[in-house]
A and B are shown apart, each in its own frame.
Chain A
Amino acid sequence: MNLTTLLLTLVALSAAIFYTSRRRSLSKAKALGGQHHLNSLPLYYGMMACLWCALPAISVLVIWSIFDGVIIERIIVQSLPNSSELTSSELGLLINSIQNYAANPGSLTEVSDPAIIQAAERLVDLNRVNAMARALLVLIFGVIFGAIAWTRVSPELRARQFVEKVFQSLLLLSSFVAVLVTVGIVFSVLFESLRFFSVIPVTDFVFGTHWSPQTAIHDGQVGGSGSFGAVPLFAGTLLISAIAMLVAVPTGLMSAIYLSEYADRRVRAIVKPMLEVLAGIPTVVYGFFAALTVAPTIRSFLEGVGFENVSSESALAAGGVMGIMIIPFVSSLSDDVINAVPNSLRDGSYGLGATKSETIKKVVIPAALPGIVGGILLAVSRAIGETMIVVMAAGLAANLTANPLESVTTVTVQIVTLLVGDQEFDSPKTLAAFALGLVLFLVTLTLNFIALHVVKKYREQYE
């Protein structure tokens, strides 16, 4: 019985148990004189029995599936005549060819070794037995536990509490998935970074001003000696993020003020969704907008006013377009916090004879400031992590410069270039990507942490 059939059978079985248990609770209630004699609604009795049937069966199935492959492999290996003499990689190859032959006996590859053919036939047999045994065990578990649940159905049984507890555990489990994945990412980045730092000293990485990650793969090869001073990358990231924030913060904030304080309802209903469309444009689209439209425009403008040798890739183009991308972030978050400022404060200010602009400048914005700052910090961490626009518009040259017209590179861009293509995962070059990733992660984590804290503080003020 294959897996799909087994699962469908299990579903049918649980459904049957759900139905019969529900019926049983109803008939027991009827004997007592009505549904109100039941501890829970009949639905919960059905669900309880259904869970009793399905959960053990699925657990058995999962555990079985984890181990059956390994066990079958071991049986096959033991049956091979000279298995103990082979190295692990030879063994792996052998098992591969056995599996291939078993899956497709008439394959093009000529298999001459009778031992392999014999083993493959054995494998097919084992697999068939395995599937049968698995299906049998799973269904037996389902039936037994379902039957136990069915017999336990009684008016006193606290079925609802049981079902609720199960679903609560399910919710808990789901929230752990996200946490576990985060922890997994952190550790994988952390351990690879530690490997990197065992080759390149931390101080060279953090304080070095020369970035040239090309290393010679074998002796005598022409290539860089490998230089991993990440300061130019940090500087480039900062420069581009700063330009982005210079574009996004004033524009976003002012549009938020206009939308929340001045715009009438019709304007707001049109402009706000349009602004939020900006947030839905894929960054790669922004990227070629920056590379094909903005950067050449900037260059021809600058050449027009007399600059020479202007790079076609510049921090200004990348940062400017990134700023446009971030505008909806700033404006939407600021708009929310400005709207959350209670109207009583505005009334208080108007009541003292303040004008609208005085009220906005001196009461509304200061009251909303913590929330606005939180929103801006979130936008900064977004800018630091942004990759695509920078790859396309800012270039790859690791220049240490504060001139926005030069080409610079950022942490994220370097991670991409270090890991793209065929790479071996033990050279400092590739490991450097993980170290950069770690830095990036720490910076954005800190920013997010501060931002959320600030926003929370702000919420407490009015609740």
Chain B
Amino acid sequence: MNMATNTAETIGDNHQTVGTPFVDNAKLSMRNVNVFYGEKQAIFDVGMDIGTNEVMAMIGPSGCGKSTFLRCLNRMNDTIEGCRVEGDLNLEGEDIYGAKLDVVPLRARVGIVFQKPNPFPKSIYDNIAYGPRIHGLVSKRTELDEIVETSLQKAGLWNEVKDRLDAPGTGLSGGQQQRLCIARTIAVSPEVILMDEPCSALDPIATAKIEELIAELSENYTIAIVTHSMQQAARVSNRTAYFHLGKLIEVNETEKVFTNPDHQLTEAYITGRFG
């Protein structure tokens, strides 16, 4: 606790993010982002890029704002009363918080998977078909069948559920439910998938499966993942961002962050001195 307060002072008000926060082939680029919950500021002047088809891990102690920041990227924070986002957030040059932007297609392009698996109380099939149906992506049943099958296959769930697509999604195991939620997100063909601690409610075997899945998905999708597990960040991501008390401390190649971080706070966190 002492450590945390001391280090907060060492960051100062005009700190600079160390490492390489910006890239050339940015899918998402964020500059000077500030987020407030009512009077309280949760994110302080964060700027970073997430490259195309890259897996970006966001780590940091609890309450550091990494989930808040993630949820800004597809405006999930809109549903929270009193939440206000300032700054420039762009998806391929399009202003995410711009007046012209419609949040519905945005969320179809930037999907999100939550901490706790949240399948709808519908059949497995209807869970996957939900997104394509509301966006009117398909006109024929056969096309929908195809989307359901490919989504489940991409999520590595097809072989386990192909014989019981009519069974309720809520009846699956926790790990299967989470993969169902990932399949549901894939079904609307997003470009970016945000994952908010997707494995924190799962056992190690289910976690391993999800991590494998993330590696496969990264071939086609840009992924931003918030995680509390540093091993997970090290295993799945290309670059890692370290957040501390609402500030972005360091962004670097994952290998560098976990072997030779540029900032003393990052080092303190990954070596387990606090967090």
Binding site for B on A (CB under 8 A): 342, 344-355, 358, 362-363, 366-367, 461
Contact = CB atoms under 8 A, between A and B. Distances in A.
A351 B130 contact: no
Given A351-B185, A362-B130, A461-B121, A344 B107 contact: no
Interface in B77-119: 79, 103-108, 111-114, 116, 118-119
A348 B134 contact: no
B113 to A, nearest CB: 8
B121 A366 contact: yes
A347 B131 contact: no
Nearest to A264: B81
A366 B127 CA distance: 13
Contacts, number: 69
A21 B134 CA distance: 75
B61 to A, nearest CB: 24
A88 to B, nearest CB: 68
Given A367-B121, A461-B121, A353 B79 contact: no
A352 B120 CA distance: 12
Contact of A351 (B107, B119, B121): B107
Contacts of A367: 120-121
Nearest to B121: A367
Contacts of B157: none
Contacts of B254: none
Nearest to B127: A348
Sort A-B residue pairs by CB-CB distance and give the 10 closest, nearest first.
A353-B107, A353-B108, A344-B118, A351-B112, A352-B131, A348-B118, A353-B104, A367-B121, A358-B134, A354-B134
Given A352-B130, A353-B107, A347 B118 contact: yes
Given A354-B134, A355-B104, A358-B134, A349 B120 contact: yes
Residue among A342, A348, A353, A367 with max Cβ neighbours from chain B (10 Å): A353
Contacts of B170: 461
B77 to A, nearest CB: 11
13 contacts: A347-B114, A348-B119, A351-B74, A351-B114, A352-B107, A352-B108, A352-B184, A352-B185, A352-B188, A353-B135, A354-B130, A358-B134, A461-B121
B105 A351 contact: no
Contacts of B79: 346-347, 350
B174 to A, nearest CB: 13
Contacts of B105: 353
Given A353-B105, A355-B104, 8 more contacts: A351-B112, A351-B113, A352-B130, A353-B134, A354-B130, A358-B134, A363-B130, A366-B120
Given A346-B79, A362-B134, A352 B118 contact: no
Interface of B: 74, 76, 79, 103-108, 111-114, 116, 118-122, 130-131, 134-135, 170, 181, 184-185, 188
Contacts of A363: 120, 130
A342 B118 CA distance: 9
A350 to B, nearest CB: 6
A366 B108 CA distance: 22
Contacts of B131: 352-354
A367 B113 CA distance: 20
Contacts of B111: 351-352
B21 to A, nearest CB: 26
A352 B74 contact: no
Given A353-B135, A353-B188, A345 B108 contact: no
B249 to A, nearest CB: 28
B228 to A, nearest CB: 18
Nearest to A462: B121
A317 B190 CA distance: 55
A350 B134 CA distance: 11
A279 B106 CA distance: 45
A342 B79 CA distance: 14
A355 B79 CA distance: 11
A296 B105 CA distance: 54
Given A351-B76, A351-B112, A345 B118 contact: yes
A344 B116 contact: yes
A352 B111 CA distance: 6
B107 A350 contact: yes
Nearest to B105: A353
Contacts of B121: 345, 366-367, 461
Nearest to B109: A353
A2 B204 CA distance: 78
A344 B188 CA distance: 19
Nearest to B184: A352
Contacts of A342: 118
Nearest to B120: A363
Nearest to B122: A366
Contacts of B184: 348, 352
Contact of A353 (B106, B116, B181): B106
A264 to B, nearest CB: 8
A408 to B, nearest CB: 41
A344 B114 contact: yes
B200 to A, nearest CB: 14
